[in-house]
Structure 1
Amino acid sequence: MGEVNRLQPIEAAHQFLNKYFVNCQGAILAGSVVRGEATETSDLDLIVFDQDISSSYRESLVDFEWPIELFVHNLTSYKEYFQKDCERARPSLPRMVAEGMILRGEEIIGPIKQEAREILDKGPAKWPAETIQVKRCFLTDALDDFRGSSDRAEELFIANTLAELASEFVLRTNRQWIGASKWVVRALKQYNEPYANQFVDAFNHFYQTGEKKEVIQLVEEILQPFGGRLFDGFSMGKDKD
């Protein structure tokens, strides 16, 4: 793509709307270009509200020399996606709507943005005790695999699983939203930045040196307030007499 000559993000977004969604009721530009965190590989995240469509859809395309992630909803369909994001504790659409820049339809989009902010502020549902027990067992199992492995290739992938499970456990037991990929670190930082740095440092130390002590200690400290490691006596799906 012609990086030097292409339109600025906001102008490209307006041009895209004028080309494809001239009659839409509202539109939001979201993502890294709005947060001031854009890189040379960033795309435009566009959320369009068009009452003429019958069902929501997502589309990836390139136009105006920009990669564009397009999310199209009517004025009611977005609510289902808000709800699904809440249930999985990954508020992708509410976050984009809340943080995004309104391009069209201030009167219509304003209340939707407020709805998204309220969802983010409320946080995800509290984990039931049964879920915490299951997650303790899964985290213990991954920790034991990590501790016992002597195969460097296997250790790398076990560590990845352990980081994902551990971050999820910390965040959900503290009523925080979770994330995937880069959003794991961002979610940890939103919760507690010094702790996020400690978390990253422990795994980074392992990846650089192969030493496991810091990761093991980190995970054991995560489990400790909930009874520590769990294996003996754990049961799932067994009929209760």
Structure 2
Amino acid sequence: MGNTKKLNPVEAAKRFINKRFPSCQGAVLAGSVVRGEETDTSDLDIVVFEKSITSSYRESLIDFGWPIEIFVHNSTSYKQFFEMDYKDAKPSMQRMLLEGIILKDEGIIDSIKEEAKEMLEKGPERWTEQIITTKRYFITDALDDFIGCNNRAEEIFIANTLAELVQEFVLRTNGRWIGSSKWVIRALKHYDVKFTEEYVEAFDTFYKTGEKRKIIQLSEKVLEPYGGRLFEGFSLGKDNL
């Protein structure tokens, strides 16, 4: 059999930068390979700072035996992504740069890493009372649909909606960053491991058995400190007369 072993990820990333971006100002390797969490399908996430470009872009390719995702910025365009991630409370770019391994640096990476660190430590914007009220209503609405539904196909997707709404509510009301996909669980664990286990068990039980009780209890528990379920009296967009 031929040798199909991949290059070491750092070595592959350095070779890639030397080949594709030899004049870049800086480059950072991030993602699961840096955290020691890589799987058979992991790729190399590389942030590149290239002064010759006018706007940021993202590209996927394969080189040196690895699937590679590149996120290319100039010395200022990354700030727009920092701001977008901050407003969405999903600081993916900040995490990538802070945790990343420097592949190349012409004196710009340390200050950008420090900028990412300060933003991560500051945390996301706090939800206003109006936002919390609105989110309470949407969780209540989904919960009522979930309780009353007797169509298995529809129940599954209502549960999906509740899973998204509940994790967002818990994290944002506690001033924590949120995430998407696998980062949902990572963000929850970073906040509270015990709650995360309860959250996973509630939805896992439903998906396996159809039993709704744990999801209902969990949703009500999350809402309780903020006034519980909300339906009567809720209004959105109504002019005050």
TM-score range, shorter chain: over 0.9
Partner of 1:181: 181
Q: Which amino acid aligns with 1:71?
A: F
Q: Does the alignment pair 1:89 with 2:59?
A: no
> The residue matched to 1:52 in structure 2 has which SS?
coil
* Structure 1 unmatched ranges of 5 or more: none
Shift of 1:153: 1.1
Partner of 2:195: 195
Task: Measure the CA separation in 2 of the matches of 1:186 and 1:9.
Answer: 23
Alignment of 1:62-141 (within 5 A): 62-105=62-105, 107-141=107-141
Partner of 1:22: 22
TM-score in terms of structure 1 length: 0.97
Shift of 1:52: 1.3
> The residue matched to 2:62 in structure 1 has which SS?
strand
Shift of 1:107: 3.0
Shift of 1:5: 2.8
> The residue matched to 1:107 in structure 2 has which SS?
coil
> The residue matched to 1:169 in structure 2 has which SS?
helix
Task: Measure the CA separation in 2 of the matches of 1:3 and 1:125.
Answer: 50
Deviates more, 1:97-106 or 1:15-24: 97-106
Task: Measure the CA separation in 1 of the matches of 2:162 and 2:3.
Answer: 39
CA pair 106-146 structure 1, distance change in 2 beyond 3 A: farther
CA pair 154-114 structure 1, distance change in 2 beyond 3 A: same
Q: Which amino acid aligns with 1:8?
A: N
Task: Measure the CA separation in 2 of the matches of 1:182 and 1:64.
Answer: 26
Q: What per-residue deviation string (whole Å, max 9, x for no partner) do you get for residues 87-146 of structure 1?
A: 010101001111111111173101111111111111100001111111111111111111
Shift of 1:6: 2.4
> The residue matched to 2:239 in structure 1 has which SS?
coil
Task: Measure the CA separation in 1 of the matches of 2:203 and 2:164.
Answer: 11
Percent of aligned pairs with the same residue? Answer: 61
Q: Does the alignment pair 1:147 with 2:147?
A: yes
CA pair 114-50 structure 1, distance change in 2 beyond 3 A: same
CA pair 67-3 structure 1, distance change in 2 beyond 3 A: farther
Q: Which amino acid aligns with 1:57?
A: Y
Q: What per-residue deviation string (whole Å, max 9, x for no partner) do you get for residues 181-229 of structure 1?
A: 1111010001111111111111111111111111100000100111111
4+ runs deviating over 2 angstroms: 2-6
Q: Does the alignment pair 1:168 with 2:168?
A: yes
8 A Cα contact 2:25 2:106, kept in partner: no
TM-score in terms of structure 2 length: 0.97
Q: Which amino acid aligns with 1:47?
A: V
Alignment of 1:23-42 (within 5 A): 23-42=23-42
CA pair 127-52 structure 1, distance change in 2 beyond 3 A: same
Task: Measure the CA separation in 2 of the matches of 1:27 and 1:3.
Answer: 29
Task: Measure the CA separation in 2 of the matches of 1:16 and 1:154.
Answer: 47
Task: Measure the CA separation in 1 of the matches of 2:181 and 2:106.
Answer: 32
* Structure 2 unmatched ranges of 5 or more: none
